[in-house]
Chains A and B, each alone.
Chain A
Amino acid sequence: MASVLYAVFVGPFKDMASSPSFLIEVLLGGIATGLMYSLVALGFVLIFKASGVFNFAQGVMVLFAALTLVGLMEKGLPVPIALLVTMAVMILLAFAIERVVLRPLVNQEQIILFMATIGLNFFLEGFGEMLWGANVKRLDVGIPDRSVMLVGIQVNQLEMSAAGTAAVLVTVLAVFFQRTRIGRALRAVADDHEAALSIGIPLKTIWIIVWSVAGLVALVAGVMWGAKSGVQFSLSLIALKALPVLILGGFTSVPGAVVGGLIIGVGEKLGEVYWGPLVGGAIENWFAYVVALVFLLFRPQGLFGEKIIERV
């Protein structure tokens, strides 16, 4: 019994202390991964914040954006043009979604809208594969996926660039929501569709803006993850990893997505490297969820989420 307690509560910390440069590598890796999770979680947050819809199709949107970009690049378009065209495609997609899915379902319950996004998920899955094929595609963003030694610590260039991009994007979005008029309008719509309509906020336009922005965020996430593992179907499964980030940070908070991502990313890595071997490894899948769950028990709305006010 004592040896179990020792192994869980003392051993891993001794392990960490024995090699501080390795610990920093683990932390850096965790931060980079965490920021990349936040990128995906951001898409969820944006849409939930502005339309109250939990967009199950966000993962597939990441995949679809990446597929379109790589597909265009393969057809010979230079990278900047391909990026612009892909952005246009995502905006078109937002228009289509608003017209076909959201408008007919105005003011339905959350779970109905959730289910509609599930239908959207299947549709985009089949559509993306039909257009661009099911083969794995290489995505080259011009940054070499190599590590350099920095003060005795191995640092991966691609990961650091991804982390930097994510940080910039998040800051821009946070400012957008807090300081601009459109941001306020978005928050009003998230609260209550009909009330927002009644004070003159153009629901349709707001939704198109939000889904476009979410689409662009999905594009960035798709590029980053696609550069790491090649563009293929499993990109859409990243969304599952972003869910604990969402719970932790709160469904409606942009900074929450970042902080949540960092906590989950670092926690996952530390857990896997130092505690994982105790139970045979591969605990990453559920560790993040358990961490999020524990946090939730103390703050049911997530770290930064809006406090749930219940009316009896």
Chain B
Amino acid sequence: MRARTVMIAALAILVAAAPAFGPSSVAAQGKEIFIPLLVYRTGPYAPSGIPIANGFVDYFTMVNERDGGINGVKITWEECETQYDTKQGVECYERLKGKGAALVNPYSTGITYQLIPKAPVDKVPVFSMGYGMSASSDGRWFPWVFNFPTNYWSQASAVIRYIGQQEGGLEKLKGKKIVHIFHNSPYGKEANPTLEDIAKKYQFELTLLAVDHPGQEQGATWLQVRRINPDWIFMSGWGVMNQVAIKEAASKGVKMDHFIGNWWSASEADVVPAGEGAKGYKGATFHAPGIAFKVHQDIVKHVYDKGKGAGKKEAMGEALYNRGVVNAMYAAEAIRTGMKGGKTAPTQDQIRWGFENLNLADKRLEELGMKGFTHPLKVSCEDHEGSGPIRIQQWDGQKWNLVSDWIAPMRDVVRPKVEAAAVEEGKKLGYTMRDCSKEK
């Protein structure tokens, strides 16, 4: 009885105090750049989310410590846990945008789709690096959404180009069997139309095998792969699907060096459970793995040595850690471009302009300590993708090594599709196409 009374009283207090919850809106002071960090450090995708989040935080900490911020303006950030869940992601965004968000990295295709319509209304650029809505590569329809340095369709075409290189030329692909194993979600299906177009063009036999979420049990899929006996396998997976797929492939005796994962299927978390069996597995990437770059030394010097590291020092250099670092670098450079040399925090329109006019040349990359880490990049009004190339990395049992040079995507196949999709998606949201020539 008493417990019941206590509970009723507690509920009453909760209801009465409810309006006190909610976000504390702190208006941007002009003295700091605030970046909300949507992360997933718990839940089913945590093994992938943790290194990305650490990469972000370490890079921003380093920029504050080493350079005193961007042009002297400090960066502040706040992490918000989304567990890769769309609803939680949107709630995080709504709570944090009131603090003057400079940009948002949703790190989930589902959350990205939710935030894209809000971007022009809230004036917060959505930076979905290498994921999200591929159609947003056409900046004429989506001025506030950026997905450079490359998108899924370009990646698929570049992977085929790599396979062609390995086979001795794209013409040699005729009659070969290529299987695409994909996560049965809009993310996984992204590459399919592009692959089908390229399959028609170069006349190889393409088989598409869907794996249902979450992909914990893939016995049937791999039995089918065994029956088809393909020459090459490409995978667009995510989460536990990757780990199980690599294990199954290894146990079925698939040639691992003919098995290529996309850039979300080629990280340490994916290959570790398979142990020895994962040796030789390849993956696509748009930045280098490892810590052999000056930027890492800077992070060690200014962040870890001062005890401010977000994760473990040994985890630096992991594929997804570097992903976070590169993402943070792009964001910082875009903001710097938008500031145009000024010393106060930029406005939202300036940040958007900065993203759209980002021009990372070799020289600047070297200044950042990232020479060779990633490819030079130029974003423009029409091209929010930067149409960057990819590289192929391979797991040797201990770490990832780059085994190819930069491979360009098949822009002639991909760009028309991007433009068509942009028209479709843009019209759905009621947008009109910008005229880039009028905005110089």
Instruction: Mark A residues whose CB is within 8 Å of B.
Output: 19, 22, 25-26, 29-30, 32-33, 129, 134-140, 145-147, 154, 156, 158, 225, 228-230, 232-235, 237-238, 241, 268-269, 272-273, 276-277, 280-282, 284-285
Contact = CB atoms under 8 A, between A and B. Distances in A.
Contacts of A282: 184, 210-212
A228 B240 contact: no
Contact of A136 (B47, B211, B217, B221): B47
A186 to B, nearest CB: 31
Contacts of A19: 227
Interface stretch (B155-163, B243-251, B349-357, B424-432): B243-251
B212 A285 contact: yes
A272 B244 contact: no
Given A147-B251, A234-B239, A269 B219 contact: yes
A237 B216 contact: yes
Contact of B217 (A135, A230, A280, A284): A284
A145 B216 contact: no
Interface residues of B, number: 39
A37 B277 CA distance: 25
Contact of A238 (B216, B239, B269): B216
B227 A22 contact: yes
Contact of A280 (B46, B210, B277): B210
Nearest to A280: B210
Contact of B42 (A134, A138, A158): A134
Main secondary structure of the interface of B (DSSP, over half): helix
B277 A146 contact: yes
Given A134-B41, A234-B239, A273 B224 contact: yes
A22 B226 CA distance: 9
Nearest to B188: A282
A158 B275 CA distance: 14
A158 B252 CA distance: 12
B414 interface: no
A25 B251 CA distance: 14
Contact of B220 (A154, A234, A273): A273
B423 interface: no
B220 A276 contact: yes
B44 A154 contact: no
Contacts of A281: 208-210, 221
Contacts of B23: none
User: 8 smallest A-B Cβ distances: which pairs?
Assistant: A230-B273, A134-B46, A272-B220, A282-B210, A234-B240, A136-B47, A233-B44, A229-B244
